[in-house]
């Protein structure tokens, strides 16, 4: 079965929002876009979870989307984070992303207010009818406090411009149900589960670890697409410890920003309520980066 949304297959990196002295570091953001173009990354997702969207004010949120779209200039796809627990706010942000030239809008399931299945459906339908742009669902119940069940996702998938889903439930059973019940392009929301999801019919990853080693994740995807299972497994196991540290040492995006700082690619600055790693956590992360071959 052909899946809608295949233009978003491959590696999309949920990029960090660089800060300097408490403000968005616009120069560093542009540099990040250039770096991903050079690395061959297929797409960028600004202002997602990894981009610290919860602590960006509305002006900053829109500014980050505008900079990434403007600087991408068609060289790389942009899947802008436009979700909200307010439907009207989601409509406004999605309209703005479209006006900037975003290729798609990734919309997290409304968080905190815990809608019913009907509420989820009406939320996405309202945005889809208001803004003619490809919409990528983002289901991450560990953060939103409410899972979008496969039956709900299947109903939302009938909306024409809903084309893909970032599947971050951590449940392979749910991912399997979503693949079976819809024709959405299914993207992994967990780096370490990319290969298992590909084996069931998934099409790619919205990645955190891609901020550090996009080329290696691309190699995994390339090997799988070529039918070279052993090569894909090799990359899976090479990436595994690094992927787990990005989520296991502390809340995302704390570890990835500190890792980028260690690698000379970010200030490592975070916004409260996120705080830096402890000395022992930082030592553990450094050890993983050394073992991977990124640091000596």
Short-list 101, 18, 12, 111, CA closest to 60? 18
Q: What's the token pair of residue 137?
A: 């669902």
What is the spatial distance between Cα 33 and Cα 239, in angstroms, rounded to a whole number? Answer: 23
- The residue annotated as part of the active site, out of 77, 138, 146, 257, is 138
Short-list 82, 131, 126, CA closest to 105? 82
Cross-strand bridge partners of residue 12? 43, 206
287 is catalytic: no
What is the spatial distance between Cα 267 and Cα 237, in angstroms, rounded to a whole number? Answer: 29
- The residue annotated as part of the active site, out of 166, 238, 261, 287, is 166
What is the spatial distance between Cα 133 and Cα 170, in angstroms, rounded to a whole number? Answer: 27
Q: 87-100 and 117-130 helices cross at what angle (nearest 10)?
A: 30
257 is catalytic: no
What is the spatial distance between Cα 76 and Cα 33, in angstroms, rounded to a whole number? Answer: 8
- Which CA distances in Å does 103 have to 122, 171, 186, 202? 23, 28, 17, 20
**CB pairs under 8 A, 24+ apart, for 168-173?**
168/138, 168/139, 168/140, 168/142, 169/139, 169/140, 169/141, 169/142, 170/142, 172/196, 172/197, 172/200
What is the spatial distance between Cα 187 and Cα 87, in angstroms, rounded to a whole number? Answer: 24
What is the spatial distance between Cα 249 and Cα 260, in angstroms, rounded to a whole number? Answer: 15
Q: What's the token pair of residue 121?
A: 């459906």
Catalytic center residues: 138, 166
């Amino acid at each position: 079965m052909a899946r809608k949304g295949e233009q978003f297959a491959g590696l999309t990196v949920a990029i960090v929002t660089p800060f300097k002295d408490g403000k968005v570091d616009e120069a560093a953001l542009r540099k990040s876009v250039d770096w991903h173009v050079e690395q061959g990354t297929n797409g960028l997702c600004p202002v997602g979870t990894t981009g610290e969207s919860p602590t960006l004010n509305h002006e900053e949120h829109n500014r980050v989307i505008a900079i990434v779209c403007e600087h991408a200039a068609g060289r790389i796809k942009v899947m802008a984070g436009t979700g909200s627990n307010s439907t009207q706010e989601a409509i406004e942000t999605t309209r703005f992303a479209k006006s900037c030239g975003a290729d798609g809008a990734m919309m997290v399931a409304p968080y905190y207010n815990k809608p019913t299945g009907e509420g989820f459906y009406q939320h996405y339908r309202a945005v889809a009818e208001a803004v003619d742009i490809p919409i990528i669902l983002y289901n991450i119940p560990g953060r939103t406090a409410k899972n979008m069940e496969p039956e709900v996702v299947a109903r939302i998938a009938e909306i024409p411009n809903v084309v893909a889903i970032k599947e971050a439930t951590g449940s392979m059973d749910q991912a399997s149900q979503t693949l079976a019940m819809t024709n959405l392009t299914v993207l992994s929301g967990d780096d370490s589960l990319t290969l298992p999801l590909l084996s069931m019919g998934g099409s790619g990853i919205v990645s955190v670890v891609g901020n550090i080693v996009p080329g290696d994740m691309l190699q995994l995807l390339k090997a799988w697409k070529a039918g070279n299972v052993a090569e894909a497994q090799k990359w899976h196991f090479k990436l595994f410890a690094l992927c787990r540290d990005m989520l296991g040492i502390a809340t995302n995006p704390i570890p990835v920003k500190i890792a980028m700082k260690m690698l000379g690619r970010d200030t490592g600055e975070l916004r409260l309520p996120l705080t830096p790693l402890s000395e022992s956590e930082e030592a553990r992360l450094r050890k993983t980066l050394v073992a991977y071959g990124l640091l000596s």
